[in-house]
């Protein structure tokens, strides 16, 4: 092959390289998403998902199914499950992130970082486990682990005086009223077995008497209400076969199941 032909081949090769480079450059110039910085993160809690978009070109739209988009970054009353949240910007560029069912069906207590499962039964949203926040101070004791064993707190939550329980709930949550409990019982057709073994998963954590004795762990679950009575406060007690209410003085230690408060 002579020098002249070699030079011609090199010239053709260089032209091809230049053409391809120019084509790529033009493709990037025509595609606003090629170098987009659009990104999305999401938090999920209490059956609500909140997305946060950054980068890209505002305004943003958000989708929980990748098909239907909305301008609001918040999805409320989301059914239980895992989701992929997609954000779309003004250039139709998209970015996605995932949220887990475990976070969606939960309440995070920011005071100690503990995350609690939540369940929806009828129109009510309840904790799906007993509360386990330490209310004790250097000078007062208002909550206990059954038999003073920390392992029982991990399984059954703490036992609280009424005063401690009434000050316990995070924002948006509260002690259930006697009526709340009665509504819950109606929703499960008065089946205490359903409350113990179903999604509510009542933990039969027993109680602590005023005298300091621990009684009935694994046999009964006792739960405070916010409903007052002349002698103290109403509570509910049940196991797999029976359930009933009663009234005790506020210094007795029983379990706490919080309910999500309904907004007006």
Determine the pLDDT at residue 18: 40
Tens of pLDDT, residues 187-209:
999 999 999 999 999 999 999 99
Torsion of CA 57, 62, 63, 64, to 10 degrees: 130
Residues 69, 150 within the same domain: no
Residues 82, 181 within the same domain: no
Mean of per-residue pLDDT scores for the chain = 90
What's the structural domain count of the chain?
2
Determine the pLDDT at residue 9: 47
- Residue located via tokens 């970082």: 113
Domain's final residue, options 57, 86, 103: 103
- Residue 246, domain extent: 111-260
Residue 216 lies in a domain: yes
Tens of pLDDT, residues 104-116:
999 999 999 999 9
Residues 76, 116 within the same domain: no
Mean pLDDT of 82-89: 97
State pTM to two decimals: 0.81
Residues 88, 210 within the same domain: no
Determine the pLDDT at residue 22: 39
Determine the pLDDT at residue 15: 42
Tokens of 90: 């003004």
Q: For residue 188, how far is the Cα from the chain centroid? A: 23
Query: In this model, does residue 12 exceed pLDDT 60?
Result: no
Q: Identify whether the C-beta of residue 251 lies closer than 8 Å to the C-beta of residue 161.
A: yes
Torsion of CA 85, 88, 92, 97, to 10 degrees: -40
Residue 25 lies in a domain: no
CATH number at residue 56: 2.60.40.1080
Residues 119, 243 within the same domain: yes
Determine the pLDDT at residue 163: 97
Mean pLDDT of 1-15: 50
Query: In this model, does residue 247 exceed pLDDT 70?
Result: yes
- Residue located via tokens 């038999």: 147
Residues 99, 62 within the same domain: yes
């Amino acid at each position: 092959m002579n020098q002249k032909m070699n030079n011609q081949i090199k010239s053709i090769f260089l032209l091809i390289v230049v053409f391809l480079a120019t084509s790529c450059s033009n493709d990037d110039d025509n595609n606003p998403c090629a170098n987009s910085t659009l990104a999305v993160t999401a938090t999920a809690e209490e059956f609500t998902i909140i997305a946060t978009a950054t980068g890209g070109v505002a305004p943003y739209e958000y989708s929980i199914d990748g098909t239907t988009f909305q301008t609001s970054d918040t999805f409320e009353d989301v059914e239980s499950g895992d989701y992929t949240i997609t954000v779309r910007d003004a250039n139709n560029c998209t970015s996605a992130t995932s949220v887990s069912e475990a976070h969606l069906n939960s309440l995070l207590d920011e005071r100690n970082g503990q995350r609690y499962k939540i369940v929806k039964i009828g129109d009510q949203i309840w904790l799906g486990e007993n509360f386990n926040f330490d209310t004790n101070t250097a000078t007062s004791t208002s909550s206990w682990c059954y038999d003073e064993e920390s392992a029982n707190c991990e399984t059954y939550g703490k036992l609280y005086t009424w005063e401690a329980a009434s000050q316990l709930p995070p924002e948006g949550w509260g002690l259930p009223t006697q009526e709340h409990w009665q509504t819950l019982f109606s929703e499960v057709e008065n089946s205490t077995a359903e409350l113990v073994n179903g999604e509510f998963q009542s933990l039969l954590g027993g109680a602590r008497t005023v005298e300091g004795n621990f009684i009935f762990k694994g046999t009964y679950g006792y739960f405070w209400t916010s409903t007052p009575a002349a002698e103290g406060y109403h509570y509910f007690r049940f196991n797999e076969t029976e359930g009933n209410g009663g009234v005790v003085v506020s210094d007795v230690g029983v379990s706490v199941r919080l309910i999500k408060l309904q907004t007006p």
